[in-house]
Each structure stands twice: as C-alpha cells, then as structure tokens.
Amino acid sequence: MELLAIFVAAILINNFVLRYFLGICPFLGVSKKIDSAISMGLAVTFVMSITAVVSWVINHWILIPFKLDYLQIVSFILVIASLVQLVEMFIRKISPPLYQALGIYLPLITTNCSIFFLALMASLREYNFVESIIFGVGSGLGFTLAIILMAAIREQLDHAEVPEALKGAGIALIVAGIMALAFLGFSGMIK
Amino acid sequence: MEVLVPVITMGVLGILFSLGLVIAYRKLRVYEDPKIEQVAELLPQANCGACGYAGCRAFAEALVKGESTINSCPVSDAEGVKQISATLGVSAAEVVKKVARLHCRGTHEAAKNSGTYLGISTCDAAQLVGGNKQCSYGCLHFGDCVRACPFDALYMSEEGLPVVIEDKCTACGKCVEACPRNLFELHPISQGIIVFCRSVDRGPVSRKVCKNACIACGICSRACPEAIIIENNLAIITDYKKIDPEKIPEIEKCPTDAIGRLKKEDEG
C-alpha cells in the first residue's frame, strides 16, 4: 500500500512538472509533436529509474558509511551526467531520426533539475531501495504524462487562432499554468 | 588523513563511471563520415524535398554515399554546388538554372466566367466542380500555387494570374504539384518562347471562352516549323533551342498572344 501511494503520488499528486515546476526546459522544448514527446518522456523515465537505483546504492553503500553526506550533490550529478551520456549513445545507435528530433534537449537532461530533485528527494525522505525505484519510475511516468498531454494540446493549438502576441512560448506557458491548476485538484488525495 | 577519504571516493567513482562510458562507447559507437556534416551545412537548408530525400540532411548522406548527385538539388546556387562538389571531390556538372512558368494567359479580363463561384476559395475545391471559368484548362485564380511556394517567389497579379519572380524561384516544383490544372512547368531560364495556353479545344471553341487562347491557326509553326508544331489544336514547342532568334517577331504575330516571350509584367 505504501508503495502504491508513493507511485501514484509521484505520477499525479506531486507531478514534478506540474506541481514543482521542475524540468520545464524539455517540457516546453520537446512538446511540439506527440511522437518526440513520448520518446523524450521515455528517455527521462529511463534516466530517472536508473538514477534512483544508482544514487541509492552510492548514498547508502558509500556516502553514509564514510560520513560523506555533503558529497551527495556532486556524486548525484556525476551519476546523472554519465547516464545521460549512455542514453545519448544508445539512442544515436538505435534511432538516428529520434536523435535528430530530440536534438539539444537530450544532453540537456543532464542539467534537468527534476532528475536531480528526484535523487535528493529520495535520500531526504529516507526511502528504502524498493521505494526509491518506485519513486523514480513514478516520477518519470509523471513527467511522460505531463509532456504527452502538453504535446497533444499544442498539436491542437496549431489549428487554433492564437493572438499574435501569445504565439509560441507565451501560449505554451499559459497552457502549462492551466494544466498545473488542474493537477492541483489531486492534492490532498494522499498525505 | 580525513581529507583523503572523500578525494579517493570521488576519484574512484569518477573512474568507474568513465570506464563504464568507455565500454559503452566501444559497443555503441556510430561511425559517421564527417563529410556528411560539411555537405549538410553547405546545402540550402530549405528542406523542400525537391531532391527526393526527406530533407537536406538525408540528401547530404545520400551525396556522401554516392547515391545521388548534387544536380538533384534545384535550390543550391552555382557557388554552393561548386563548394559541395569540392567537398565531395567530384567535378560539378554544369547546372542549368530552371524556373517555373505558367502556361496560361487567362486573366480576369480575357477568360470569361461561367458563373459565380462561392465555394471554398482554393483551386482544388473549385476544380472539383469544374471551376468558375468557361475555359476548363486555364488558371482558376485562387492561388494554391502562391500558398504552396516555400520561397515567396509567386504572387497573384491584379489581372488575376500568378506571377513567378524568377530571381527567387528555385524550381522546387511545389507549384507544379499544387496546380490542379497542371499549368506550371519547369523551364531552363534561357528558354525565351513559351506557349501560354493548355487548351486542346478547337479554335472557335477556345476563342469563345478566352481572348488569349491558342486557336491553332498555325502562324507560329509556319514561321518556325523545326521547333513548333500544332498538335491537338495546340501549339507545342518541341525544342526551344532550335528557335532562331530572328524568327521571334514572326512567331509573336500570334493573333491571340498565346505564344511569345514573357512580357515585363509577367516577370514580376
């Protein structure tokens, strides 16, 4: 039950993008087409899940036993940067068009605050190993959900009559704000 | 001694991760010819698809692999072609600049309306119900070609015909595809004489619906029989290179102006 609560909370209630406004850069940058939004979501989910595992291992097997908690930030960044490099190589190998479509946003996952937030939050909330994994996967799926919803809305927006001044980033931010309001409705479901 | 623990820990972690990445790189490396990047940068980046590939980058890959030749890109100018050929290490074949040309002179004034068309104002839609002109071969005036042009090389004149701005035209062929009546053709820019009609109706019929229709009187083909023939009630230029410049005034005696040189107002 505890695990389910963490999972649902990570996807809906404390959605990283719409509740904490983390990871806005790829959220706005890669949400023009559903196809690339899905791939971006999956790439972030993958990085988040692995980050949750590796950062837990480093935190509990190395940093805490040696009393090196203050190195958390540096070591988590190291983990994330290496993982993103790995994902980048992998995507480039299996799907060059996808690599082109994700463009600069793929290496930018490295500096995506939502992934870093995940690693810090898991250690702050003192999740155990399984809880960390569930938290990581859930948060990744939450990001995927948010970016796919956003892409679906923006594809429709292409056919809408948007005032000249709001075209592009302006209307995207407004839509993101309204989506965040909608997701606020989930708050309080789980403590 | 205290200070050594974090240094060693971070050092070991760093080395471990970099080793992991090195191994992954060995396994997952994609070899890419650096020439592809260079050629892609030299291409016009219009991504118009006129070469038959998905975009300039895909075309660059095909060029480097030798699957295509640079002449397939109608947008690159002479300078670009030269640089790309130098990068690829092949000699550039001479590229003839082509432009799109409209084969109709049925202006609002010349071509009579068959009725009032109030439907969706695109040529495609009008074509479905036969168009709003009595001539069933000529321009519909709704400007599908103007909207299709990615280079802003077309505009609709006040007389109601699309005008090609030849400096801007890259012969990408979008207007050729867009016109439901196939009135555009890509010509070498040096071709001086053009037949401005597509009607294959008999002379009296086409004369009735449009002042500028070809009535197949044969004046042009008699003036220059080696290059112009009359077929299906329409003058056809078989080989523009054989047209003797001295005979042009003779050809331009056309009573309906359906053949001749582009006029100033036609050129934008």
Note the pLDDT of residue A83: 87
B15 interaction partners in chain A (CB closer than 8 Å): none
Question: Could you tell me if residue B167 is inside a domain?
Answer: yes
Q: What is the mean pLDDT of chain A?
A: 87
Find, in chain B, the residue whose alpha carbon is nearest to that of A91: B28
A21 sits in the region (left: phi over 0; alpha: psi -120 to 50; else beta) called left
Q: Which two tokens stand for residue B1?
A: 């001694």
Q: Does B198 share its domain with B179? A: no
Q: Residue B144 pLDDT > 80, yes or no?
A: yes
A71 pLDDT tier (thresholds 50, 70, 90): confident
What distance in Å separates residue A93's CA from the closest CA in chain B? 6
- Residue B194's H or E segment, with its range, is strand B193-195
Is residue B115 assigned to a domain? yes
Contacts of A73 (CB under 8 A, 6+ apart): A120
Q: Is residue B204 in a domain? A: yes
| Cβ-Cβ contacts under 8 Å for B144 (sequence gap 6 or more) | B122, B123, B124, B178, B179, B180
d(CA B239, CA B230): 13
If asked whether residues B53 and B74 sit together in one domain, one would say: yes
User: Do the chains contact at B13 and A75, CB–CB below 8 Å?
Assistant: yes
Please tell me the predicted confidence (pLDDT) of residue B91.
Answer: 63
Mean pLDDT of A71-82: 88
Chain segment A8-63, per-residue pLDDT in tens: 988 988 888 998 888 888 888 888 888 888 888 988 898 899 899 999 999 999 88
- In this complex, the residue of A74, A85, A96 whose CB is nearest that of residue B21 is A85
Residue B218: pLDDT over 50? yes
DSSP secondary structure letters along B56-84: HHHHHHHHHHTSS-GGG-SSS-HHHHHHH
Do B185 and B197 belong together in one domain?
Answer: no
Q: How confident is the model at residue A191 (pLDDT cuts 50, 70, 90)?
A: low
Considering the entire predicted model, what is its pTM? 0.57
Please check whether residue B175 is in contact with residue B184, taking contact to mean a CB–CB distance below 8 angstroms: yes
A58 touches chain B (CB under 8 A): yes
B112: domain CATH number is: 3.30.70.20
For the cut 80, the answer to whether the pLDDT of residue B30 exceeds it is: no
The answer to whether residue B64 is domain-embedded is: yes
Q: What is the length of chain B?
A: 268
Mutate: best of B30, B32, B45, B56, partner A, most A CBs <10 A: B30
Q: Name the percent of chain B lying above pLDDT 90.
A: 9
Whole domain around residue B108: which residue ranges? 97-189
Q: What are phi and psi of B112, to 5 degrees?
A: -80, 145
CB B258 within 8 A of CB B211: no
Do B197 and B168 share a structural domain? no
Average confidence (pLDDT) over B45-60: 79
pLDDT one-digit tens code per residue, B220-240: 888 888 888 888 888 888 888
Q: How far is CA B98 from the centre of its chain?
A: 8
DSSP class per residue in A34-88? HHHHHHHHHHHHHHHHHHHHHHHHIIIIIITTTT-GGGHHHHHHHHHHHHHHHHH
Residue B62 belongs to some domain of the structure: yes
CA distance B114 to B207: 15
Q: Is the distance from CB of A80 to CB of A13 less than 8 angstroms?
A: no
Residue B189 has a pLDDT of 82
Q: Is residue B39 part of a domain?
A: yes
* Mean pLDDT of all residues in B125-149: 88
Residue A145 has pLDDT above 90, yes or no: yes
Q: Are residues B169 and B203 in the same domain?
A: no
Instruction: Report how many domains make up chain B.
Output: 3
Question: What span, in angstroms and rounded, lies between the C-alpha atoms of A154 and A56?
Answer: 37
pLDDT value of residue B67: 76
Distance CA B196, CA B200 (A): 12
Boundary-marking domain end, from B153, B168, B189: B189
B5: nearest CB among A66, A89, A96: A66
pLDDT band at B268 (very low <50, low <70, confident <90, very high): very low
Q: What is the percent of chain B where pLDDT is above 70?
A: 95
Mutation for testing the B interface, residue in A85, A88, A100, A110 having most B CBs under 10 Å: A85
List CB contacts of B174: < 8 A, sequence separation 6 or more.
Answer: B48, B50, B145, B148, B149, B150
Q: What is the pLDDT of residues A164-173, one digit of tens each?
A: 888 888 899 9
Is residue B101 packed enough to be buried (19+ CB in 10 Å), middle (13-18) or exposed (0-12)? Answer: buried
Cβ of A75 and B5 within 8 Å?
no
Average pLDDT of the segment spanning B126-152: 88
**Structural domain contains residue B19:** no
C-alpha–C-alpha distance, residues B130 and B137, integer Å: 10
pLDDT of residue B159 exceeding 90, the answer is no
* Contact call for B20 and A86, based on CB within 8 A: yes
Neighbours of A71 (CB within 10 A): 20
**Do A85 and B10 make contact, defined as CB atoms within 8 angstroms?**
no
For range B174-201, the mean pLDDT: 88
CB-based contact B10 A66, cutoff 8 Å: no
Is residue B38 situated within a structural domain?
A: yes
Q: What is the pLDDT of residue A153?
A: 93
- φ/ψ bin of A126: left (φ > 0), alpha (ψ from -120 to 50), beta (otherwise): left
| Residue contacts between A and B (CB atoms, under 8 Å) | 43
B157 and B220 co-located in one domain: no
Region B126-134 average pLDDT? 86
Task: Give the integer Cα–Cα distance in Å for A84 and A157.
Answer: 31
Alpha helices in A95-128 (DSSP H): 96-102, 113-124
Mean pLDDT, residues A96-108: 77
Structure tokens of B178? 């867009």
Encode pLDDT of B57-109 as tens digits: 888 888 888 777 777 777 777 777 778 887 877 665 556 678 889 999 888 88
What phi, psi does B178 have (nearest 5°)?
-70, -30
Give whichever of A61-65, A174-178, B261-265 has the largest mean pLDDT.
Answer: A174-178
pLDDT of residue B146: 92
Q: Which of A105-109, B70-74, B258-262 has the highest mean pLDDT?
A: B258-262
Residues B137, B184 share a domain: yes
Q: CA A21, CA A28: separation in Å to the nearest integer?
A: 11
Percent with pLDDT over 70 in chain A: 99
Q: Which helix (H) or strand (E) segment is B99 a member of?
A: strand B98-102
Query: Which chain B residues contact residue A74 at CB under 8 A?
Result: 10
What is the Rg, in whole angstroms, of the alpha carbon atoms belonging to chain A? 17
Query: Kindly report the CA angle at A122 between A118 and A124, in degrees rounded to 5?
Result: 115
CA proximity to B212, closest of B164, B247, B160, B248: B160
A71 touching chain B per CB within 8 A: yes
Give the CATH number, domain containing residue B57.
Answer: 1.10.15.40
Mean pLDDT across A91-99: 80
A39 DSSP 8-state letter? H
Between CA B54 and CA B63, with CA B59 as vertex, the angle to 5 degrees is 155
The pLDDT score that the predictor gives to residue B44 is 82
CB spacing of A74 vs B18 below 8 angstroms: no
User: Are the beta carbons of A93 and B28 separated by less than 8 Å?
Assistant: yes
Q: Exposure string (b/e) for B232-268, b if CB count within 10 Å is 16 or more?
A: ebbbebeeeeebeeebeeebeebebbbbbebeeebeb
